[in-house]
């Protein structure tokens, strides 16, 4: 059963009212606390990439790993970083550079033929973070893929039964934040064995503000 939009909007309003103004625009985080679920069991694993209806701030920073024509098209499509084959090979064994890239970029896309090399060079760094690249064919509409990835968020259940992701910025319209929240909760609910009954509570907060509960 989907959450009442009225309840979500009330929580967004309360969150904004109780958040102290800072000299920067704060992100809005959604926190979903689960119950009666064991993250260690296969049925308790939740790892989803969700496309939001509305881009959050400037959107995700995108790294494209490609060669030739696809690399050129990715640069034209304003990917934040394009890594070509020779550059990827040069990163072999350079743990500092690998960690820097994993920390800086939110979403990774790789030309399918390069995936074995990506796995060898970056797999140990990106894999544990759930950021292994999405493979795409050399003929893909990379501009469209980049645009889509700007609006995606990842939710991943780790050691604790808690899911958290960014769903907005404090200067976004309440309606847009609410629609992003619906998109995340709808996907998560569909992946849980008992649906909304596996959700103990849902909270909303800005990066440095208090946590506000959304009524279920």
Instruction: Find, among 135, 124, 148, 152, the residue nearest to 64 by Cα.
Output: 135
Whether 66 and 134 map to the same domain: the answer is yes
**68 shares a domain with 36:** no
Asked if 69 and 33 sit in the same domain, the reply is: no
Q: 64-98, pLDDT tens digit by residue?
A: 999 999 999 999 999 999 999 999 999 999 999 99
For residues 128 and 110, what is the distance between their CA atoms, to the nearest angstrom?
17
| Cα separation, 77 vs 90, whole angstroms | 24
Q: What average pLDDT does range 9-37 have in this prediction?
A: 93
Q: DSSP letter at 11?
A: H
Same domain? 94 vs 201: no
CATH number at residue 166: 3.30.190.20
| Whether residue 11 is found in the same domain as residue 39 | yes
Boundary (domain end) residue, out of 150, 169, 189: 150
pLDDT band at 196 (very low <50, low <70, confident <90, very high): confident
Residues 145 and 155 in one domain: no
pLDDT tens for each residue of 120-164: 999 999 998 888 999 999 999 999 999 999 999 989 887 789 999
pLDDT surpasses 80 at 44: no
The pLDDT value given to residue 97: 94
Say which range, 11-15, 43-47, 185-189, 195-199, has the weakest mean pLDDT.
Answer: 43-47
Answer yes or no: is pLDDT of 112 > 90. yes
Same domain, 79 and 126: yes
Q: Give the CATH number, domain containing residue 109.
A: 3.40.50.790
Q: Decide if 151 contacts 55 (C-beta within 8 A).
A: yes
Q: What per-residue confidence (pLDDT) applies to 154?
A: 86
**Please, how many CA atoms are within 13 Å of residue 119, restricted to the half-sphere of its CB?**
7
Cross-strand pairs, 213: 203
Query: What pLDDT sits at residue 28?
Result: 95
| Same domain as 125, residue 68 | yes
pLDDT at 58 over 80: no
Residues 207 and 157 in one domain: yes
- pLDDT of amino acid 34: 93
Q: Give the total number of structural domains in the chain.
A: 2
| Final residue in a domain of this structure, among 97, 129, 150 | 150
Last residue of a domain, one of 127, 150, 173: 150
Residue 93 and residue 35 in one domain:
no
pLDDT at 87: 96
- Which secondary structure element, helix H or strand E, spans residue 77, and what is its range? none
The rounded distance, in Å, linking the Cα atoms of 108 and 148 is 12
Which whole-number Å values give the CA distances from 113 to 62, 75, 83, 87, 135, in the listed order? Answer: 19, 19, 14, 16, 8
Domain around 12: 5-57+151-214
- Residue 135 and residue 28 share a domain: no
> Which pLDDT does position 191 carry in this prediction?
87
């Amino acid at each position: 059963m989907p959450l009442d939009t009225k309840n979500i909007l009330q929580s967004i309003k309360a969150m904004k009212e109780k958040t102290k103004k800072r000299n920067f625009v704060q992100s809005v985080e959604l926190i979903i606390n689960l119950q009666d679920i064991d993250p260690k069991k296969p049925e308790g694993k939740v790892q989803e990439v969700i496309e939001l209806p509305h881009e959050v701030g400037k959107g995700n920073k995108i790294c494209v790993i490609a060669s030739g024509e696809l690399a050129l098209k990715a640069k034209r499509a304003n990917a934040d970083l394009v890594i070509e084959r020779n550059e990827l090979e040069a990163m072999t064994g350079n743990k500092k550079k690998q960690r820097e890239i994993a920390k800086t970029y939110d979403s990774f896309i790789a030309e399918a033929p390069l995936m074995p090399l990506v796995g060898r060079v970056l797999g140990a760094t990106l894999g544990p973070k759930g950021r292994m690249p999405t493979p795409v064919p050399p003929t893909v509409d990379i501009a469209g893929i980049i645009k889509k990835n700007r609006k995606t968020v990842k939710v991943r259940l780790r050691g604790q039964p808690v899911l958290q992701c960014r769903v907005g910025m404090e200067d976004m319209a309440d309606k847009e934040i609410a629609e992003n929240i619906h998109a995340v909760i709808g996907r998560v609910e569909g992946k849980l064995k008992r649906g909304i009954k596996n959700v103990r509570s849902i909270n909303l907060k800005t990066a440095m503000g208090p946590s506000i509960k959304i009524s279920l």
